Amino acid sequence: MYKPLPESVTVKQSGINGLGLFAEQPINQATNLGVTHLKIDDQIIRTPLGGFINHANDPNCAKVELHANGTESFRKKWNLVTLRDIKKGEEITLRYTFYNV
């Protein structure tokens, strides 16, 4: 069954902007939460996980660039990895690099 978000994450109203990602349970540092963006040719595509991340100057997650192997149709992908332990109920944030804030 397809799940657009990892089980440890949910979407809720954010105090930062609109909707955001929140931890449903404690999440350990260095946890890979999944793919946030794909680059196909010159186009960057957000996944459901990438669509709800809000910006923070002091984020608790980072995008980690992974290069696709020759069998995948996209050229690059970025995964969301936690920079520190995240508490249950805490908003998951990222420093935007693709978009202006």
**How many Cβ atoms from other residues are within 10 Å of residue 96's Cβ?**
14
CATH of 9-94 among 2.170.270.10, 1.20.120.1690, 2.40.128.260, 2.40.50.180: 2.170.270.10
26-81 residue pLDDT tens: 999 999 999 998 888 788 889 989 999 999 999 999 999 876 666 555 678 899 99
Nearest Cα to 92, choosing from 21, 6, 4, 5?
Answer: 21
Are 94 and 63 contacting, i.e. CB atoms less than 8 angstroms apart? yes
Predicted TM-score (pTM) of the model is: 0.84
**What is the enclosing helix (H) or strand (E) of 17?**
none
Tokens for 5, please give them: 């978000």
User: CB–CB of 10/19 below 8 Å?
Assistant: no
